[in-house]
Structure 1
Amino acid sequence: MAFLTRRPASPRRRPRTPLIAAGALVVLSVTLAGCGSTRAESAGGAREPSGDPGTTQARPGRPAPDSAESAAPVVPARLPGVGPATLAGIPGNARQVVLVTGRGKDSPVSQVVLYRRTGAGAGWERGATWPAHNALKGWTDDHHAGDLRSPIGVFTLTDAGGLRPDPGTKLPYDRSVGFTIAGTGFEGESLAGSFDYVVAINYNHVPGTSPLDWTRPLGAGKGGGIWLHVDHGGPTHGCVSLAKEHMRELMRTLDPAQHPVIVMGDAKSLAR
């Protein structure tokens, strides 16, 4: 089922996505845009990235040189665990970073740490730290639809939505029954409520559109529907999931005026 893209009616909120008939909700549990859906959203195969401003894929680079540790500053000049190749992908105007560090390349377990850039300097101040899940098979720097891996890279965060009322986010928020999901996860856990709150990760997603939008700038073969969403107690198809209270806190923290981004991948890949 395709969803029409709507621009926000105001800086805070979009018009509601059209309601979906109750009989269609069962289909949504399989074909909903979120969590790396394998639906063939558009004709044709994958295309090479064309410089889309919402997608900055981290590329391999040389490891950061070892340096003798001195008295650690209270505010680090660089993001801990993030190497020069990954750091180079963070836009210069970004003042908020959601750092997602996976336990291993093939692990579905990760940690989320919030950072904000302090003052006019290059320092980063550490905020909340939360446990998280990522895709069942871990991470990849060449994501494709259905590979059950989360994409590695640096991506902007511009759009939110969910089944529940806006929790107080500054991001444009699309409340819709289109975020209804049912069924069970990889470990038999219920998926109900997983999309109560979501933030679109701008991997193969058009910034400024609802998370439910099916447009895939890089082609359907490169996947899409990669979100931050409510944790259901097990691995995801490609998204990053957090406990509901942490998702609510994150959504209230993200501020489009601070140009937030997510930096995500396994620890070894992020250190490049």
Structure 2
Amino acid sequence: MVRVTGEGMNSSNSEVVLFERSGTGWKAGASWKGHNAIKGWTNDHHEDDLRSPIGVFNLTDAGGLLPNPGSKLPYDESQGFTIGGSGFENEPLAGSFNYVIAINYNRIPGTSPLDLSRPLGEEKGGGIWMHVDHGGPTHACISIPQKNMESLLRSLDPALHPVIVMGDASSLKH
């Protein structure tokens, strides 16, 4: 399980922790600083609301611009992950999609993260990923440093049905 805890409902700063389940419960492992959407979190995500959805979502598919670093999840290496331009704080976005893990919010599991299908409809948004941190807030994704994305990709095992639990700290206590 990956837990992403935002500093507050309207904060774009998060802590990302990888947990492993054992016979006695959950054990916290690696922890990283990350980012979420510029306007924080929401229980009712819509396209372009600039908030990350709160919830528990499966992690089934990965990909990126760079070759597979050892992911056990199905991995789609593609030039389609190329991005340029600048983020909200004028930070360069190049390299942000070197590695991505699709968050199964309004997407079809078992497809490339680049698949634009939206089962809940376009208005509910989609294309929400964990990806390489570019040093600033995202549109709705979760981002962590590249070396940590590489480690996470090698850690997640589809046979163990990995999930991401994400939201602001207050929402996750409920």
Shared fold by TM > 0.5? yes
The two structures, once aligned, show a CA RMSD in angstroms of: 0.5
Distance in 2 (alpha carbons) for counterparts of 1:225 and 1:192: 18
**1:141 & 1:177 partners in 2: Cα distance?**
33
Return the alpha-carbon distance in structure 1 between the equivalents of residues 112 and 19 of structure 2.
25
- Written as runs of structure 1 = structure 2, the 5 A alignment for 1:102-251 is 102-119=6-23, 121=24, 123-251=25-153
- Residue by residue over 1:202-241, the C-alpha shift from the partner in whole angstroms, topping out at 9 and shown as x without a partner, is 0001000000001001000000000000000000000000
**Partner Cα separation in structure 2 for residue 238 and residue 114 of structure 1:** 20
Give secondary structure in 1 for the equivalent of 2:28: strand
Q: Which amino acid is the alignment partner of residue 130 of structure 1?
A: W
Question: Can you give the 5+ residue segments of structure 2 that lack an aligned partner in the other structure?
Answer: none
1-structure distance, mates of 2:117, 2:43: 21
Identity among equivalent positions (%) equals 68
1:221 partner SS: helix
For 1:115 and 1:196, how far apart are their aligned partners in 2? 24
TM-score, normalised on structure 2? Answer: 0.99
Distance 2:109 2:49 in 1: 24
CA distance in 1, matches of 2:26, 2:143: 24
Higher strand share: 2
> Runs of 4 or more off by more than 2 Å in structure 1?
none
TM-score (norm 1): 0.64
CA displacement at 1:199 relative to structure 2: 0.2
Q: CA deviation at 1:152?
A: 0.2
- Give 1:88's aligned residue: none
The Cα of 1:145 is off from its aligned counterpart by: 0.2
- Pick from 152, 159, 170 the counterpart of residue 268 of structure 1: 170
